[in-house]
């Protein structure tokens, strides 16, 4: 089958629960930046996001997840910070696995489009 060049099926993935959107690409990027920088402050700066907003997103994710995704580290000589829990690392992996499968399906469906 020839590849469709005119049309494209685009999808956006997020994980919902009773209170609404729980985890989407924005929160995944925030988790990845916390993992990379070791702090919510630096993760927020990387994303040009207000610290307060990043902090609220982390608190919300931690409260709504079965186990917290981000662990805050207490300050000391080297300062505080934050790191992902195993659940947080798993959230990133699972999100991308689901997103990739859905995008692959959309790509296959795109090739079938004819109008």
Res. 1: pLDDT tops 60: no
Where are the chain's structural domains?
18-106
Question: Shortest CA distance to 37 belongs to which of 28, 46, 26, 29?
Answer: 46
In the chain, which ranges are continuous DSSP H helix?
25-37, 40-46, 51-64, 86-110
Residue 3: pLDDT band by 50, 70, 90 thresholds?
low
Chain segment 47-106, per-residue pLDDT in tens = 999 999 999 999 999 999 999 999 998 876 666 799 999 999 999 999 999 999 999 999
CB atoms under 10 Å from CB of 105, counted, come to 12
pTM of this structure: 0.87
* pLDDT for the residue 76: 65
**What gap in Å lies between CA 15 and CA 11, rounded to an integer?**
13
Higher per-residue confidence, 1 vs 85: 85
* pLDDT for the residue 4: 54
* pLDDT for the residue 87: 97
CATH number for domain 18-106, candidates 1.10.10.10, 3.30.1510.10, 3.30.420.40, 3.40.1190.20:
1.10.10.10
């Amino acid at each position: 089958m020839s590849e469709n060049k005119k049309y494209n099926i685009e999808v956006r993935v997020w994980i919902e629960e009773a209170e609404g959107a729980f985890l989407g690409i924005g929160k995944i990027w925030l988790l990845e930046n916390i993992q990379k920088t070791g702090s919510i402050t630096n993760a927020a700066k990387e994303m040009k996001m207000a610290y307060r907003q990043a902090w609220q997103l982390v608190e919300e994710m931690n409260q709504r997840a079965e186990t917290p995704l981000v662990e805050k580290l207490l300050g000391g000589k080297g300062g505080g910070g934050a790191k992902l829990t195993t659940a947080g690392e798993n959230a990133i992996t699972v999100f991308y696995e689901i997103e990739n499968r859905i995008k692959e399906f959309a790509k296959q469906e795109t090739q079938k489009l004819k109008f």
